Chain A
């Protein structure tokens, strides 16, 4: 593949993931625009479980703006995320699943569900004297689910495939030769300022929430903050024992890949999109600690599973692991 092909696929991916969300809100907006004389003012936009209008009454124009904003917002969210996942020159295959394709399928399914439900919500208001009289038609959720299934399947079919034949992530980094009596220790820390800021914000919010509003809710938010703090930095060590990851400011918990378990190691560019986000990720075929996007150490284990950690200077680490794997055999 040339770089032009790759950037083309990248732009395509974003548009393919984003498109259906714009389409999904279009029928509802069209009804709101075209059938003004058949709608009450305000109209009902929220219904309880039994389909009775129970809140969020809004003027027709506000509803149009809300739906348009929802469509554009979701399109941007899914589009940018899909682009991010494929922003790499040569995407490293870390998972036995084509996650990029599944993501587009998911995006289309979401759009289908949303489109069906929103259309039902707008249709419920048609020919009603007042918003409170509106009742959600019984076909709303079946329609949404059917659209979700069909759109999801079509999305997964039209999505560009990531070449999965390249089962090797890249050429194995040349082994650093190690003497029989030699001991080595390579270490490097990697942290994300954004994750630290997020963690501090969550902890502070949790404390404030716990004191002023609800202790349980506060504790949950603070716990989330603590988890983000744990996964906001990692110290990576390569020595005779293998690869060791010490998470968070306390260096605990630890993740270890024993030297005996290492078949080969290499360096590759990865992005959080490939793993569904930041932190400790488990995807089919791989486990990963993702702190940022960019260069990462990719270790292939005896089981064929990959272990990925985003770290700078990973070439040395990969070379050492290959040197260790060589001396062990």
Chain B
């Protein structure tokens, strides 16, 4: 799995890391039960703080995509479907795109609700 972060981008590094893992799960390069790189090793590899990596991993755990266990590290949650990772990633892209054109949070939610009603 490839993780790329760019300090010049206007997105927190932890979010960038989480997005890469999500894409990895979505495109099948990280599968059920696969172990993610250890937080310390990944932090050294990306030359970022270990807290940044852990923040990214916690985000993924809250989304139900990975398990974080002491001693075992981070693993892709069993039955974490690639589709779920894709949906989460798309939702994030929707928010980013909508914010760029200065839509308010209510308007974004409204967009989603309209889409839900019409599908």
Contacts and interface: CB of A to CB of B under 8 A. Distances in A.
Given A237-B45, A239-B46, A181 B8 contact: yes
A240 B48 CA distance: 12
Interface string B48-59: 100000000000
B112 interface: no
Contact of A186 (B1, B6, B48): B1
Interface string A189-215: 100000000000000000000000000
Contacts of A237: 37, 41, 45
Contacts of B46: 183-185, 239
A185 B6 contact: no
Contacts of B6: 179, 181-183
B17 to A, nearest CB: 9
B101 interface: no
A220 B55 CA distance: 46
A316 B5 contact: no
B73 to A, nearest CB: 12
Interface residues of B, number: 17
Interface string A280-296: 00000000000000000
B37 A185 contact: yes
A313 B35 contact: no
Contact of B1 (A179, A188, A239, A240): A188
B10 interface: no
A241 interface: yes
Contact of A239 (B8, B29, B45): B45
Which residue, B6, B7, B42, has most C-beta atoms of chain A within 10 A? Answer: B6
Contacts of B29: 313
B37 A187 contact: yes
B7 A186 contact: no
B33 to A, nearest CB: 12
B113 interface: no
B99 interface: no
B47 interface: yes
A182 B35 contact: no
Interface in B1-44: 1-8, 29, 35, 37, 41-42
Contacts of A179: 6, 8
Given A313-B29, A316-B2, A185 B8 contact: no
Nearest to B7: A181
A189 B41 CA distance: 14
9 contacts: A179-B8, A181-B8, A184-B46, A185-B2, A185-B3, A185-B42, A187-B45, A237-B41, A237-B45
What are the 5 tightest A-B residue pairs by CB atom distance, in nearest-first order? Answer: A185-B45, A181-B8, A239-B45, A182-B6, A183-B46
